[in-house]
Each structure stands twice: as structure tokens, then as C-alpha cells.
């Protein structure tokens, strides 16, 4: 008998359409076991991708779809934070997610989110007042507008402690390490 039988969850590699395909069983962020596929025109390239995916699957949770930050941010406070942390932490994290993270970087895909993206967004949050960033003043009745909608910024910026909390929440929620401030 030539070769050996593959072990459980090692996956397989096979000819596919005009090239090669391979899959590995991975654990998803929701805890399910699913197949993750890689393809290539060249067998050697496909094999290299397959080996890399196997190594990643052994050490990490691997996403099988390309969720956005907003989709994961909606799931994260309810399913991860609420059952495992205190009520105050849940309220704090879900507030940051709802008011800042989802509107700010929610459209980015988790697979393409980088530290640089988070840093640029955090710099924008730090330099913009609450009203301008969240569009609070534009939602008020016209006679009660007093800030950004009248082109008179109140300069009510976030405190350093608030920005630290937002960074911490972002790092926990996105899985991307947030840039540190000193």
C-alpha cells in the first residue's frame, strides 16, 4: 500500500476545474466546524496555501466567510461579553460598538481590517467632537440646533480615558490589536 490515510480534520487536495482545490476543517468564530477552501491554477501554489491553512487552523479560529466588522460587532457583545463579563462591562462595550465602531469601521471586512485602518479611524475620532462625529446636532429640530449643523463646532472632544476605553473595546471586538498610545 502506498501513502497513508489522512487523519481527521486534515482535509484534502484535488483537481478542480482549470486548476487545483483543497480544503481544511476549521473552527469558526461561532465555534462550529466547517470546511475552508483554497484554490489555485498551479498545484504547488495550491499545496502551499493548503499547508498554510492547516497550520492556521491548528492554532487559531478561522473565519469561513468574510463578515464585516459591523456584523461581528453586533454578535460580539451579546454572545461573548454578556454571558462572560459583568453587566457594566457589557453596557460599556455595547455602547462603544453601537455609537462608534459600527458606524466608523463597520463596513470593513474582518479579513481585510488592519491596524493601520484602526489607527486612522481612532485619530479621526480623537480629533472630532461628539456632535460632529455622531451627527447629533443634525438630528435635532432646526430651532434647537446649536453646534455642527450651524457650522459652530463645540470642540467637545473625547477625553483620553474615553479614547482608551474605545481602543480597548475595538481591540476586544475586532480581534485586531489596537495601536497603543502613551
Cα 152 → chain centroid: 34
DSSP-assigned states of every residue in 52-66: HHHHHHHHS---SS-
Do the strands 19-27 and 33-40 form a parallel or antiparallel pair, or are they unpaired?
antiparallel
Cα angle value 59/78/82 (rounded, 5°): 90
Q: How confident is the model at residue 45 (pLDDT cuts 50, 70, 90)?
A: very high
* Separation CA 112–CA 69 (nearest Å): 10
Tens of pLDDT, residue by residue over 128-145, are 887 777 777 777 788 877
For residue 3, the model assigns a pLDDT of 60
Residue 127, phi then psi, degrees to nearest 5: -95, 0
Model confidence, pTM = 0.58
* Separation CA 111–CA 109 (nearest Å): 5
Strands of 12-16's sheet in order across: 12-16, 19-27, 33-40
Q: How confident is the model at residue 176 (pLDDT cuts 50, 70, 90)?
A: very low
Cα angle value 108/110/113 (rounded, 5°): 65
Among 8-22, 39-53, 166-180, the range of highest mean pLDDT? 39-53
Cα angle value 12/15/17 (rounded, 5°): 130
Contact 178, 118 (CB under 8 A): yes
Tens of pLDDT, residue by residue over 106-133, are 888 877 888 898 899 999 888 888 777 7
Domain boundaries defined on the chain: 12-59, 69-174
Whether the pLDDT of residue 43 is over 60: the answer is yes
Please compute the mean of the pLDDT values over residues 83-93 and round it to a whole number.
90
Instruction: Give all strands (DSSP E) within the chain, no chain letters.
Output: 12-16, 19-27, 33-40
Give the number of other CB atoms < 10 A from CB of residue 81.
21
Amino acid at each position: 500500500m502506498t501513502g497513508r490515510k489522512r487523519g481527521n480534520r486534515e482535509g484534502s487536495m484535488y483537481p478542480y476545474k482549470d486548476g487545483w482545490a483543497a480544503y481544511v476543517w476549521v473552527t469558526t468564530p461561532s465555534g462550529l466546524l466547517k470546511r475552508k477552501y483554497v484554490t489555485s491554477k498551479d498545484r504547488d501554489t495550491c499545496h502551499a496555501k493548503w499547508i498554510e491553512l492547516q497550520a492556521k487552523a491548528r492554532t487559531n479560529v478561522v473565519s469561513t466567510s468574510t463578515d464585516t466588522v459591523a456584523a461581528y460587532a453586533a454578535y460580539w457583545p451579546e454572545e461573548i461579553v454578556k454571558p462572560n463579563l459583568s453587566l457594566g462591562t457589557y453596557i460599556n462595550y455595547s455602547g462603544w460598538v453601537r455609537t462608534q465602531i459600527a458606524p466608523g469601521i463597520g463596513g470593513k471586512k474582518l479579513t481585510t481590517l488592519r491596524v493601520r485602518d484602526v489607527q486612522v479611524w481612532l485619530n479621526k475620532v480623537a480629533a472630532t467632537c461628539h456632535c460632529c462625529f455622531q451627527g447629533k446636532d443634525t438630528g435635532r429640530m432646526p430651532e434647537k440646533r446649536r453646534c455642527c449643523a450651524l457650522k459652530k463646532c463645540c470642540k467637545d472632544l473625547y477625553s483620553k480615558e474615553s479614547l482608551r476605553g474605545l481602543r480597548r473595546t475595538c481591540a476586544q471586538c475586532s480581534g485586531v490589536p489596537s495601536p497603543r498610545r502613551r
